[in-house]
Structure 1
Amino acid sequence: MMTKNADSKIFEARNQMAFYALEELVPPNHLLRKIDHHIDFNFIYDLVEDVYCQDNGRPSIDPITLIKIPMIQYLFGIPSMRQTIQEIEVNVAYRWFLGLSLTDTVPHFSTFGKNYKRRFESQSLAEQIFAQILKQCVEAGVVDSKDIFIDGSHVKACANGRKYTNEEVIVQAKWLAEEMMEAVQEDRAIHGKSF
C-alpha cells in the first residue's frame, strides 16, 4: 500500500517545535565524536597567540574552528571549502563538532579564507598544529602507522614503527598544511578574489 504525505502533514513536520539538546542529535558512534574524544585542540590557542592582537580589532573566528573546518572537509570528502561551509550550515554533527548552536552563524567563506590566510600564512604554524593533532591520534591508537595512505596510494610502513611514525607525522602535517593553503587560494582565484 502506498502512503502519501498530505500537505498538512508536511507543513506540520516542517514547522514542528521540539526541545532537543544538540548533544542528543549527534549519534554516539559518529566519527566526529571519536575525534573530539581523542584530540584536545586547546593546544592551538598557545601556538597562535602571537598572530592575534589582544587589545583591539573585531572578534575573530576561533582558531580551533579555523582548523576544524578543513578537517571536516577532508574527513568527509567535500570537494571545496565553499561547499564545506554550506554543509556546516545544515549538518548538526558538524555544528556540534565546531561548538556552534543551531542558531549560530557559520563563518562566511570569504571571512574563513581571509582569517586562514592571515593567521596561517606561515605554513610552519599550520604544520605544527597538524603535527600535534596527528601525534595525539597516534598516541590514542586511532591512527595505525603500519598502513599509511598518501594521495590514495597504499604504502607499507617500515618495521621501526615509532621512528617511522614520528617522521610520517611531520610529512603528513606538512602535506595537510600545503593542501589547506592551496584549497583556499584555488577557491578564491576561481571566484575572482585575491589576498
Structure 2
Amino acid sequence: MIGRIRGILIEKSPAQALVECAGLGYEVDIPYTTFFNLPETGDELVLHTHFVVREDAQSLYGFSSRLDRDLFRLLIRVNGVGPKLAAGILSGLDANQFIRCVEARDASALVKLPGVGKKTAERLLIEMTDRIGQLEGQFVAGSPSAAVSVGAPQAGSAMAHHPEEEAEAALIALGYKPQEASKAISKVAGEGLSSQELIRLALRSMIPAN
C-alpha cells in the first residue's frame, strides 16, 4: 500500500497531478478539493495516498489532507460506492463538510453531488453514521472548506485563455450535466475571475455549506 508520496509537482489539472519522486513520475488522481490546495508546478508537495488495484487498472488517489484520504477509504467500503464516486464526493464536499452532512442527516446536500441519487445518499447517511467515529481527532468543527472558499487565484495555475469554458468543462468532467454546469458558471461569472475561482463559486452555489 502506498500511503504517502513526497516529491516535485511537475504538472497539474483539476483531476490529476504528476509528481516526480526519486526520478519516477507518478500520475495521481485527485479530487477538486485537493487541486485547489496544490502548490505551483516545480514546488515540493506531500500527498496522502490510496492505491487501488483492479483487474483492468491500477490507480493512485492523492489527497492534500490525511482526513480526506481516510474518509475516502471509508467511503469506498460503502455498498455501491467505488473509488471514482468517492473521489467525486470529495470534489464537491471536503471531509469536514461531509462529516457535518452526516451528523445533520442532510441528504439534500448529498444528492446534489454528481452520481449520488436519493438511495445512495440515504445509504451514505446510514452506513457512514457509525464509521465517521473512526475519524475522531481529525475532524475540525467549523473549519473552512477548500471546495467552497473563495481565495486569490494561484499564479501560473489558472487555465488562462477561456476561464468560463474551462470551469464549465471541469464541472462536466466531475459529472454534472452540461446544462447544469453552464447554468452554474453563468450564475457566478464575473470579470477577472480565474477558472479555479469560478469552479469554487459554482460548487458553493450548487452545494451550500452547512
The structure whose Rg is larger is 1
Structure richer in helix, relative to its length? 1
TM-score normalized with structure 1 length: 0.30
TM-score normalized with structure 2 length: 0.28
Structure richer in strand, relative to its length? 2
Q: Which has the higher contact order (CA 8 A, sep 6+)?
A: 1
